[in-house]
Chains A and B, each alone.
Chain A
């Protein structure tokens, strides 16, 4: 994720280590664990490095807007901590997190109709650590983990680093296809295997922006119960709903027997405080706590104190309301711009909440290459490939609407639309095909790219 601002500071005198020579690298290479071999394409990394240039309108990040958090309130809360509990706030804390933080978490989950037992909650260093700790507790190399296709791009490196075999199940406008999931489970049955868990972002999914329908939620929970499978529900965006009716989280439908819940303060308060949590059944919690001890002993005490102060003021829901107003306007601006500037062959999701829109282009456009072209116009997005483990998603892209203002969003979409239009026109010149009637030029079997198209153009994600 690009950090746009760094604080200029005088550099202390320091020694920089002599860079490794290649023979040194060879020596270390023999020491690297096998899991480090699973690395993201370096070409992609280099492209993403360019998206951080300050003159680029980046629709690539997933940054929530933190610019409207009142600085005076922030100052007052931190001052109070310094004056009243400096020694404690600067000390280690319990591995599971402070009870007061858990109370805040219970309050947040309550706002979506969930009633977790506080004993089942562990405070983590962001939701990301919760995913990591769950893998640490559950996944051996070669184990199957199931997730959506596309899935949260940040989950892929976690699954890879635990050497999971990641199986991705198609999504459509109603979220993960449960019929496809059942087929995958049957295939695993035949091999005598079962997945360690099914990872899902059912609400305003990252990256697709779709929401799993109520019917599918029920089926998923029933499936988990009848097959005694764990589901990991990652729900960072549930409270950021701009339209449609709220659906019950999987955790609520299940009651917490087979659904493990991952939450975060990142999107409702601040990602900089690195505070998230997991809610798990007690036997899993025991292992997760051991893993957390090994990883970092405890989550930041200081930021837990900050959350406690912040919730004590009782305005947290108003702040979310204000974010929702901002994001609704930005989503509307993005959708309008997409309608105006993207070619007729493009489709996209229209989410009722969250931070992302997923757009899909004609199959002959590779969005990694398109990104290179778009960067010349100083605009960036995440190529769809980042959301798949197997190279699919090449003609899709993730567009973020939370980080930039409406003007930037319109201009960004205009520039991306221009680069797409050029490619569509060129393809038409190359193949003689009319742009309005896109027909795949390949006579061979349906390309994988087409299999990941089925998102509807209108936002139906919230419907039951």
Chain B
């Protein structure tokens, strides 16, 4: 089979995407497929058309690749592709939209308020911030609505941290959310097709759960898979994750990030196209389920070519 691997692009997660893409290309090669590596740039459509692939493996993260843009193009060109479709990507990339969707489906997610820049610049939203303390309480997590990894995510311990945190978050997107900080265990559930994979737990080595950058650094965070959870706990986490995956309309594969608080799991976000690098969580979870990376890639391709998932 001829498989185009879409990678790179202009997003801030370009580096991760190139690593994901390279790893997928290797696996495809070993599986005996013909690989057409494609860096997403101005010639993408031309090269896709000329290359005539049977299927496209989308190994792009962040804006342009994970937000439905690349998927829309592939639909127009009639090329089947891996991972979630246009609508699911568009919902997942935007944390505010995703949280609304989750909440209306009855899936727990931490309380939040969202603002866009216009609200502050033109509508005097700064005055409304005073209500935050009452409605959400401190500490808060301030995040860009659309953005990957820890970029622009800041912790606000009190009122005085908020303006700076907002400026940081607005550097990545014109909409930000202020989310109640929920203390608990950090878990990720990857879903393949409609099957949940073993739960991964991220444990920061420093003990500083406010250090968001640490989560993405080897040596500063340990990942345990399967997470050491009681049977009921694990079942409730998996069930919540699957519900979130379905509520957002995901298909193929995705990763649901949750916090397991004292009163149960809460969904933070769903990554439509999670990383596939050596240190990424989805491949770790697949491995814990007894799947090699090649088997994982093959399964993702199968799902892309199954009409039910198209």
Task: List residues of A whose CB falls within 8 A of some B CB.
Answer: 16, 18-23, 25, 29, 36-37, 39, 41-43, 45-47, 49-50, 53, 364-366, 369-370, 372-373, 375, 419, 423, 425-427, 429-432, 441-444
Contacts of B16 in A (CB 8 A): 46
Q: How far is the CB of A431 from chain B (nearest CB, A)?
A: 5
Contacts of B293 in A (CB 8 A): 19, 21
Contacts of A430 in B (CB 8 A): 120, 126, 129, 162-163, 166-167
Q: Are B149 and A19 in contact (CB under 8 A)?
A: no
User: Among the listed stretches B88-96, B257-265, B276-284, B298-306, which one makes contact with chain A, having 4 or more residues with CB under 8 Å of it?
Assistant: B276-284
Complex interface residues of chain B between 1 and 49 (CB less than 8 A to chain A): 10-16, 18, 23, 26-27, 29-30
Q: How far is the CB of B51 from chain A (nearest CB, A)?
A: 17
- Residue of A50, A423, A432 contacting most chain B CB atoms (<10 Å): A50
B172 at the A/B interface (Cβ < 8 Å)?
Answer: yes
Contacts of A23 in B (CB 8 A): 287
Q: Are A53 and B10 in contact (CB under 8 A)?
A: yes
Bound: A366/B14 CA distance, A = 21
Cβ-neighbour of A21 out of B160, B216, B217, B283 (below 8 A)? B283
Contacts of A47 in B (CB 8 A): 12, 151
Q: How far is the CB of A356 from chain B (nearest CB, A)?
A: 23
Report how many residues on chain B are interfacial, defined by Cβ distance under 8 Å.
46
Q: How far is the CB of A443 from chain B (nearest CB, A)?
A: 6
Bound: A156/B26 CA distance, A = 34
Cβ-neighbour of A426 out of B10, B121, B217 (below 8 A)? B121
B219 at the A/B interface (Cβ < 8 Å)?
Answer: yes
Contacts of B216 in A (CB 8 A): 42-43
Q: Are A373 and B171 in contact (CB under 8 A)?
A: yes
Q: Are A22 and B278 in contact (CB under 8 A)?
A: yes
Q: Are A427 and B163 in contact (CB under 8 A)?
A: yes
Cβ-neighbour of A370 out of B121, B150, B171, B213 (below 8 A)? B171
Bound: A441/B156 CA distance, A = 14
Name the residue of chain B whose CB is nearest to the CB of A53: B10
Bound: A47/B172 CA distance, A = 12
Bound: A372/B27 CA distance, A = 32
Q: How far is the CB of A378 from chain B (nearest CB, A)?
A: 9
Cβ-neighbour of B172 out of A18, A36, A39, A373 (below 8 A)? A373
- The 9 A-B pairs of least Cβ separation, nearest first, read A49-B15, A369-B171, A373-B171, A369-B168, A46-B15, A37-B219, A430-B163, A22-B284, A429-B120
Q: How far is the CB of B219 from chain A (nearest CB, A)?
A: 4
Please list 16 pairs of residues, one from A and one from B, whose beta carbons are closer than 8 Å in the complex, sorted by A's number: A20-B278, A25-B278, A41-B213, A43-B149, A43-B151, A45-B15, A46-B151, A47-B12, A47-B151, A50-B10, A53-B10, A366-B167, A369-B168, A425-B121, A426-B117, A441-B160
Complex interface residues of chain B between 147 and 175 (CB less than 8 A to chain A): 149-152, 160, 162-164, 166-172
Bound: A16/B26 CA distance, A = 7
Contacts of B11 in A (CB 8 A): 50
Q: Are A369 and B283 in contact (CB under 8 A)?
A: no
B76 at the A/B interface (Cβ < 8 Å)?
Answer: no
Bound: A50/B166 CA distance, A = 23
Q: Are B163 and A372 in contact (CB under 8 A)?
A: no
Q: How far is the CB of A299 from chain B (nearest CB, A)?
A: 32
Q: Are A432 and B167 in contact (CB under 8 A)?
A: no
- Residue of A20, A366, A370 contacting most chain B CB atoms (<10 Å): A366
Q: Are B168 and A426 in contact (CB under 8 A)?
A: no
Q: Are B279 and A372 in contact (CB under 8 A)?
A: no
B218 at the A/B interface (Cβ < 8 Å)?
Answer: yes
Contacts of B194 in A (CB 8 A): none
Q: Could you list 11 further interchain pairs (A-B, Cβ under 8 angstroms) beyond the known A370-B171, A443-B160?
A: A20-B278, A22-B279, A22-B287, A39-B218, A42-B217, A46-B151, A49-B15, A50-B12, A366-B168, A423-B171, A429-B120
CB 8 Å contact bits of B94-136 with A (1 = contact, 0 = none): 0000000000000000000000010011001010010000000
Q: Are B166 and A16 in contact (CB under 8 A)?
A: no
Contacts of A366 in B (CB 8 A): 164, 167-168, 171
Complex interface residues of chain B between 189 and 244 (CB less than 8 A to chain A): 213, 216-219
Bound: A16/B279 CA distance, A = 18
Contacts of A53 in B (CB 8 A): 10, 14
B292 at the A/B interface (Cβ < 8 Å)?
Answer: yes
Q: How far is the CB of B104 from chain A (nearest CB, A)?
A: 30
Name the residue of chain B whose CB is nearest to the CB of A17: B26
Q: Are B160 and A442 in contact (CB under 8 A)?
A: yes
Bound: A357/B79 CA distance, A = 49
Q: Are A49 and B218 in contact (CB under 8 A)?
A: no
- Residue of B12, B121, B160 contacting most chain A CB atoms (<10 Å): B12
Q: Are B163 and A19 in contact (CB under 8 A)?
A: no
Q: Are A39 and B219 in contact (CB under 8 A)?
A: yes
Bound: A110/B283 CA distance, A = 59
Bound: A419/B167 CA distance, A = 11
Q: Are A426 and B152 in contact (CB under 8 A)?
A: no
Bound: A21/B225 CA distance, A = 13
Contacts of B219 in A (CB 8 A): 36-37, 39
Contacts of B166 in A (CB 8 A): 426, 430
Are A25 and B15 CB-contacts (below 8 A) given A42-B217, A364-B167, A372-B152?
no
Q: Are B12 and A375 in contact (CB under 8 A)?
A: yes
Contacts of A370 in B (CB 8 A): 171
Q: How far is the CB of A448 from chain B (nearest CB, A)?
A: 13
Bound: A19/B277 CA distance, A = 9
Q: How far is the CB of A364 from chain B (nearest CB, A)?
A: 5
